[in-house]
Amino acid sequence: MGAVNTRGAAPKQDRSRATRQRLLESAVTCLAELGWSGSTVTVVAEHAGVSRGAAQHHFPTREDLFTAAVEYVAEERSRALRTLPTPPDTPAAVRQIVALFTGPLFRAALQLWVAASNEPQLGPRVTDLETRIGRETHRMAVELLGADESAPGVRETVQGLLDMARGLGLANLLRDDSARRERVVAQWARIVRDVLGR
Amino acid sequence: MGAVNTRGAAPKQDRSRATRQRLLESAVTCLAELGWSGSTVTVVAEHAGVSRGAAQHHFPTREDLFTAAVEYVAEERSRALRTLPTPPDTPAAVRQIVALFTGPLFRAALQLWVAASNEPQLGPRVTDLETRIGRETHRMAVELLGADESAPGVRETVQGLLDMARGLGLANLLRDDSARRERVVAQWARIVRDVLGR
């Protein structure tokens, strides 16, 4: 892009960046609410309040838009992970970890996983990103729990907890599952605390 | 339909039933492999080796076909649950429970859940069925584990285990996750055995 060397260029770039950002946010919202088949470029552009032409300037094809949205979701989930406050105890850490899997970012990611399992253009990209996010989430969970992975079984305990959090997110897809989830999390927080010994 | 009162009527009904069955099985396979957007009546009929006209005789609309397929999946998952052999111990029971969430029936159910979260015509029907199957799965898991739900926390322990199994099924969607899954299940089978005290 080169240096900013004319008056007005920086605001123009800012506007372009803001439009791109709005399109990505709308792509995620549409994906979470309408699924892959309902999320066309036209629908996303309309949701973002951007003309179809402007949307196509940023993302020439639907695959370009949604692979960029995949990366955006990944970055947002990473950011959400990095900004978690230090939990006072194991139950609080378990609640934080589960909460990562019940918001709109997880909903969008879920739609992407299922779309990726059927759409060859999305598949490898989504799988690679999931591998990266999976590692990052695991590392963060170990830190939040203060778990010592050199002890036998601890790594698998944390992994199973993350699998449970993912399953709880899935159970929340069709209805509000929060009351049941709270009871399950309270019990499993006790179990994890006893297993990890803190 | 009335009694079978002419020669040939029974075989004709049998053929009709066999065609219907083939269409439902193909609907599930197409859904698991192609997702909702790829699973049109034409695609399912072709997969079943049935003419489009014959398919429409059985299922006039796409919604008719897939709501019938939803029920078919539910019945097959119930049958799979009822025919599980009695496990010799808690780890074997945990492995049986997890296995219910990693086969093609779970894959098809997952596609349906995600489609139902976006398709108003599928939503309420799938949610009702999931509630029914969820209860049945829980009851069966309690039985397989020999768990005493009158003890505090046991109900939530079993629910969390089922959530974990669902999360493991989801992790298997984009890649073969069986090696990791085996290690997680081995560790959590030990934990569940200790918590349930058997």
Number of structural domains chain A divides into: 1
Q: Tens place of pLDDT for every residue, chain B, 198 residues?
A: 444 455 556 678 888 899 999 999 999 888 878 887 788 999 999 999 999 999 999 999 888 898 888 788 878 877 887 888 888 899 999 999 999 888 877 888 888 888 888 777 778 878 887 888 888 889 989 999 999 999 999 999 999 999 999 999 999 988 889 999 999 999 999 999 999 986
pLDDT digits (tens, 9 = 90+) for A134-147: 888 899 899 999 99
Residue A12 clears pLDDT 70, i.e. is over it:
yes
Q: How many CB atoms lie within 10 A of CB B10?
A: 11
User: Side chain identity at B64, as an amino acid letter?
Assistant: D
Tracing tokens 């240096």 back to the chain, one arrives at: A3
Phi and psi, residue B90, nearest 5°: -60, -45
User: Which residue in chain B has the smallest CA separation from A101?
Assistant: B167
Q: Is residue A3 assigned to a domain?
A: no
- Three-state DSSP at A195 gives helix
Q: How far is B188 from chain A (nearest CA, A)?
A: 7
Q: Is residue B50 assigned to a domain?
A: yes
Tracing tokens 């768990």 back to the chain, one arrives at: B147
Compute the distance between CA of residue B15 and CA of residue A157 in angstroms, rounded to an integer.
51
Q: Is residue A163 assigned to a domain?
A: yes
What residues of chain B, 49 to 108, have a C-beta less than 8 Å from chain A? none
Q: How far is B142 from chain A (nearest CA, A)?
A: 15
Tracing tokens 């036998």 back to the chain, one arrives at: A152
Q: Is residue A192 assigned to a domain?
A: yes
Q: What is the pLDDT of residue B145?
A: 93
Hey, are the CB atoms on A171 and B174 less than 8 Å from each other?
Answer: no
Q: What is the pLDDT of residue B53?
A: 94
Q: How far is CA A147 from the centre of its chain?
A: 23
Q: Is residue B2 assigned to a domain?
A: no
Hey, are the CB atoms on A35 and B184 less than 8 Å from each other?
Answer: no
Assess B124–A contact: CB distance below 8 Å, yes or no.
no
**B136 burial level (CB within 10 Å; 0-12, 13-18, 19+):** middle
Hey, are the CB atoms on B113 and A170 less than 8 Å from each other?
Answer: yes
The answer to whether B147 and B158 have CB atoms below 8 angstroms apart is yes
Q: Is residue B24 assigned to a domain?
A: yes
Domain that holds residue B53: 9-196
Q: What is the pLDDT of residue B1?
A: 44
Torsion angle of C-alpha atoms A191, B165, A36, A34, degrees rounded to 10: -60
CA proximity to B184, closest of A141, A158, A187: A158
Helices (H) and strands (E) in chain B, counts: 9, 0
Q: Is residue B4 assigned to a domain?
A: no
Q: Is residue A4 assigned to a domain?
A: no
Assess B151–A contact: CB distance below 8 Å, yes or no.
no
CATH code where residue B140 lies? 1.10.357.10
* Residues whose CB is less than 8 angstroms from the CB of residue B47 and which lie 6 or more positions away in sequence, other chains included: B26, B29, B30
Hey, are the CB atoms on A163 and B171 less than 8 Å from each other?
Answer: yes
Handedness of CA A123, A128, A129, A130 (dihedral sign): positive
**Residues from chain A contacting residue B35 (CB–CB below 8 Å):** 36, 114-115, 117-119
Assess B25–A contact: CB distance below 8 Å, yes or no.
no
pLDDT digits (tens, 9 = 90+) for A70-105: 788 878 877 887 888 888 899 999 999 999 888 877
**B7 burial level (CB within 10 Å; 0-12, 13-18, 19+):** exposed
Assess A167–B contact: CB distance below 8 Å, yes or no.
yes
**Residues from chain A contacting residue B94 (CB–CB below 8 Å):** none
Q: With bands split at pLDDT 50, 70 and 90, how would you rate the model's confidence at A1?
A: very low
